[in-house]
Structure 1
Amino acid sequence: MIADLPRLGLGLGLRNVHFEQILSQWPAVDWFEAISENFMDSGGRPRAVIRQVAERYPLVLHGVSLSIGSTDPLNRDYLLKLKQLADEVKPAWVSDHLCWTGVMGLNSHDLLPMPLTEESLAHVAGRVRQVQDMLERPLILENPSSYVRFTQSTMEEPQFLRSLAEETGCGLLLDVNNVFVSCFNAGTDPVAYLEAFPCERVVQMHLAGHQHMGTHIIDTHDRPVRPEVWELFRLAWAKTGGASTLLEWDGDIPSFDDCHAEVRKAERYMGGSFEGPRPAAESPAGDSVSNPVGFLVPKVMESAVLEET
């Protein structure tokens, strides 16, 4: 199923500050990514907007509260709402993060790192299988930005994600900015990280800006993509064979046109290999995929903070 997912081209996050321009102009963006939680509980305008966007553009749902790594039981109410939204707008895929967001029923609204051990791998793999069975579609998981590492970890993140994908059939979302942020904070080599990453399982990539604090980097999504991240994207683009790529901009969001111009910079790093979107014959839900486009949503320090709608 992962191999059959489409290559959508260059997309943007679906953000409420851009609703008016999108609905009035239907701009020539390849595709959109919507933060699931911003639309799951809404029966008003946000839900109406996402339905209209889904009728015209390829759409992806990206979550921040699945908490796949938590020791709490999976939240079935959350998953039922997510499935209802997915059945309604028929996204090309549904994604979230390799992290946990809370414990004992409390949501921290942060994407918290996990110890990378055989025990946690078995735990997460079992939960991924449950989620995929319930959603009736593959789950796509993202490498989060991180600021700490656990001394008890027994494997590196690329190895952990490779094993997880092989055991569950899930796909991967490679956040290139997160690779740079996490590797800088850990004092490791981002190129070596990419060389070890299971790029054959990558369905989508993220690009974003960050704040360099000198001793550490914070993943803020509030400024243009840094040159170092663009160079890392050049390598990632080649290794993934041109996975669908999206720009995240969630703080101090500029105009839609400026966001679009920023993601179009990616074309400079594609080595002349960009041929535009490649639709799949069918989406995971069995519906045809055509005409691409995109919107925006918020993440500060990779936090699960939702935009006001």
Structure 2
Amino acid sequence: MNAHAQIRAPHRLRFPDHPVAGKAGASFKPEHFDAIAEDSGFGGFFEVHAENYMGAGGPPHLALAAIRQRFPVSMHGVCMSIGGPQPLDEAHLARFAGVVERYEPALVSEHLAWSTHDDVFFSDLLPLPYTSATLDHVCAHVDQVQEAIGRRILMENPATYVLFAESTWSETDFIREMARRTGCGLLLDVNNVFVSATNHGFSATDYLDDFPLDLVGEIHLAGHDEQADDDGRPLLIDTHDRPVPDPVWSLYETVIAHTGPVPTLVEWDSDIPDWHVLRAEAEAAGRILDRNASLAEARHGTVV
């Protein structure tokens, strides 16, 4: 029987309190629902894009309600345009807050980026100049979102392909100050760090050394496409359409050695493979988390 036929969900449910600490997860894709329903061994969590669940009901909500009964869920926004200079779309923010209230996710996140101008919506998460004026309106928007949802949000570092000459803050200092002013947490996308570092010719390791890792509440991993610009230099595109590459795994291990087992999500948003492939990527992250948790326990238990 199709697993969807077994679900009978009211508009609102009180969900079990599934802990997310120390777990690795995967993007939830509706085409994986039946495989996940039959999979009794997966112990991770799932992340969903909030915008996919802003309708009143239907199959998307039936599926997510069933997932949320069994697993922790991370709610990830992709259209808020928090980095844009214009006021936030209040209707969109209200829908976002409604989805958060409805599903009680363990984690809620959005992007340090913009995607709207006047009444035009762009399908990309676009970079912003790191200036004091930008910082002021970003912090105002973060405060507005946190007020609407009644909880702390995690803000994600961007993958970038251009830099702004007018920037007066480094990205890491900008992010640190944003978090200090608003009390938000951070979502560290390790693939984004590697993509940006390669595209702009800086050290990903140096970037991470200067990143406020103590504020990281979730980590993202993903794959990227390798291209070249018009001058033949490497150009990486954050595509989320393939396995996590070795350099990103290496950076991730470095981060986890410092932070301990932070909840980690493997993103895969196009050319989506069978569930067992995505599960294997999440479990690879889980092994790194478990190994570092064991090392931390051993260090804590050592008598000096």
Task: Report the TM-score, using the length of structure 1 for normalisation.
Answer: 0.84
| 8 A Cα contact 2:241 2:272, kept in partner | yes
Aligned residue runs from structure 1 range 98-117, under 5 A: 98-117=112-131
| 8 A Cα contact 2:187 2:217, kept in partner | yes
Unaligned runs of 5+ in 1: 276-309
- 1:23 is displaced (CA, Å) by 2.8
What's the counterpart of residue 250 of structure 1?
269
Structure-1 separation of matches of 2:289 and 2:117: 42
- 1:122 is displaced (CA, Å) by 1.2
Rate the CA distance shift 1:267–1:93 in 2: closer, same or farther, 3 A: closer
Aligned residue runs from structure 1 range 1-309, under 5 A: 7-214=21-228, 215-267=234-286, 269-270=288-289, 272-274=291-293
Structure-2 separation of matches of 1:105 and 1:140: 26
| 8 A Cα contact 1:29 1:260, kept in partner | no
Task: Report the TM-score, using the length of structure 2 for normalisation.
Answer: 0.85
| Structure of higher RCO (CA pairs closer than 8 Å, 6+ residues apart) | 1
Structure-2 separation of matches of 1:24 and 1:231: 32
| 8 A Cα contact 2:109 2:156, kept in partner | yes
Structure-2 separation of matches of 1:269 and 1:38: 30
Larger radius of gyration: 2
- 1:26 is displaced (CA, Å) by 4.9
Secondary structure in 1 matching 2:169: coil
Structure-2 separation of matches of 1:88 and 1:21: 24
| 8 A Cα contact 1:72 1:105, kept in partner | no
- 1:271 is displaced (CA, Å) by 8.0
Deviations 1:86-129, CA, capped at 9 Å, x for gaps: 11110012111000001112211110000011111111111111
Structure-1 separation of matches of 2:22 and 2:68: 14
Secondary structure in 2 matching 1:151: coil
What's the counterpart of residue 294 of structure 1?
none
- 1:239 is displaced (CA, Å) by 2.3
Number of residue pairs matched by the alignment? 271
| 8 A Cα contact 1:8 1:30, kept in partner | no
Structure-1 separation of matches of 2:271 and 2:42: 23
| 8 A Cα contact 1:93 1:137, kept in partner | no
Deviations 1:3-22, CA, capped at 9 Å, x for gaps: xx952410011111212212
Letter in 2 for 1:240: T
Letter in 2 for 1:266: A
- 1:211 is displaced (CA, Å) by 1.1
Q: State percent identity of aligned pairs.
A: 40
Deviations 1:248-287, CA, capped at 9 Å, x for gaps: 0112111111111112222554582236xxxxxxxxxxxx
Deviations 1:39-96, CA, capped at 9 Å, x for gaps: 1125100011111111111111001001001122111111111111111110012111
Task: Give the CA RMSD over aligned residues.
Answer: 1.6
Secondary structure in 1 matching 2:293: coil
| 8 A Cα contact 1:63 1:96, kept in partner | yes
- 1:200 is displaced (CA, Å) by 0.5
More helix by share: 2
